[in-house]
Structure 1
Amino acid sequence: MATHPIKVLVWNVRGINDPARRSAIYQVVMAANPSIVCLQETKMEVVNQGVVAHYLGNKLASFYYLPASGTRGGILMAWDPLVVQLSNPHYTENAVTALVMPIEFMQELIDIRELIVGPWAVLGDFNLLANPEDKSNDHINRRMMARFRSKLNILELKEVYLNGRRYTWSNERGRATLEKLDHIFTMVDWEGLHPSCFLSALGSAVSDHCPLLLNLDADFKVGKRFRFEAFWPKAEGFRNVVQTAWTLVPSVGNPYVVLDSKLRATAKALQSWSDKWIRNVKLQIALALEVILRLDVVMEMRQLEGSCP
């Protein structure tokens, strides 16, 4: 498995102590998209997480720094912890050194998978989004989401549908951000062993994540099966019912979920329409057949008026 490309940005910025320089530094870092940033001449005695995020963005969340002496010197070394890991820092008067190790994304799961024979399920808090609709706003790291989905495809894993809830985590603020970070993924052969599994969420007052309950042998109550009648398209009002039900479901989100919702809504509308306007058709047919039967019986006993000799 290839690791994410590692890029290192080295720059004598001649000071990050001036807020007016923030935009220029930030734009260069965003354009370069480095995994490691080494800034010299920071001219700052204290560097904290807020300063790093302000100048370098949220992705380069880990850092080491060498304080400036007054307004002279200063080094900041920051990195993306999802791509590389820096350790064993060593500080001298004018330098910072560290051991750099690349991180293989989801390598632990890949290593485990090679030891597993047969059906497999993976479940827990992945702290990652699998789909854009797994977050309540548009602030999504699509690069990381794409990498996550790519690894799931390599591992041949598919997600078990969560019933009754869209999200599993909340930041519990006034205008809360909601995300689905907890997932259960299975292989096709595992799903074949547990075709009636049912995943639901429970309530909790002690965590910002909700508990997930996977029932491997759910007792499904099967309702009345929908049956499309061949004569419906010829009946008055059929096209209007289909068009109205189909367009009422928004075409937003996962296309497979949208299609499923549209088909379900259309089937329900057609069944209701049939019950209201065509419920007597079969009764009328049955009555007509009964009349024909009775006439046939009578005709066997005596000739009916108007019948052919």
Structure 2
Amino acid sequence: MISICTWNIRGLNDPSKVTEVRRVVNTHNIKVIAILETRVKSGKYTAVLNKFGRQWSWDNNYSCSDNGRIWIGWIPGSVTIKVKHTHEQYIYCAVHNQKGDFEFFFTAIYGLHTIQDRKKLWDELRALNASIGNVPWILSGDFNTMLGIHDRVNGAPVTLAEIKDFSDVVDQCLLSELKSSGHFFSWHKGGDGNKTASRIDRCLGNAEWMSQKGAVYTEYLNPGLSDHSPILITCLAEEKGGGRPFKFLNYLANHVEFMPAVECCWKQDCKGTAIFSVWSRLKLIKNKLKKIDHRDFQGIHDRIEQARQQLEVVQAQLQCQVADSSLLVQEQECSATLRKWLKLE
């Protein structure tokens, strides 16, 4: 199966967060991703996108929001997506699988922060629901509000005023929350014993979706370097494809010995045709860099994975012990360690 993911990454200018998004994408075979709250200015949009690879197609809502709060990306060889409408609080699109025998509508949500601003979102969702008809529809992302009074801990009690508008839309549009596993509280704030946690990220489906794909579930993954959990929706059959392309890891380019090694090897006298001479020098460079890598970076990927696993263990424990101050300190330490090793990748 291939998956869809929505994730409020809380800023994508940090290279470590780009690396983490790519890891989640590769680990879970994600072919459609909505990245929320990127905080990337439009002038840097292309530069950041290039870090995800050329196989992705992208759309965004910069035309409605200066900060481009929502990016949606997909791999055209696996799915076909047609963006039908963009808004400052959502992107609405039609999704077809590769065979073209299954279609549904998908709306990536990023709700604004005030009750008044979100009223525009609720009105828009009502209008979308009226236009969709009998086609399956899922809505996923950060609604920035809760649906029930038990959806927040360690903060101010949830009031009816906070949840009324959202609850009304869910009832009026006959939406249901998809079955889920993993974290219940999808967002957290604070790093001490008074840490607030709430469930403001959700995935909902209309009656047609629940009728046709009711067995589909969502998984709330560990938040990693964000303060929001990614929502993983596994809903499309995977098509067979080719092998993975070669990946060049460029952390060696920042090593102090990198340029001297390249210059030394390139000055070597290699007899033969021009192409053979180039090939021979490249082989010398490869061998030299392998020695540097073995000496200074051996096991870097194991160290990254170990740091990542330690962070996941602590965050998993926090599901049951949200206010444990020692675990919160451990989470910060594990996060800092992971960032340190990711900078070398």
Question: What is the TM-score normalised by the length of structure 2?
Answer: 0.32
The two structures have a TM-score, normalised by structure 1, of 0.36
Structure with bigger RCO (C-alpha 8 Å, 6+ apart): 2
Q: Determine which structure has the larger strand proportion and give its number.
A: 2
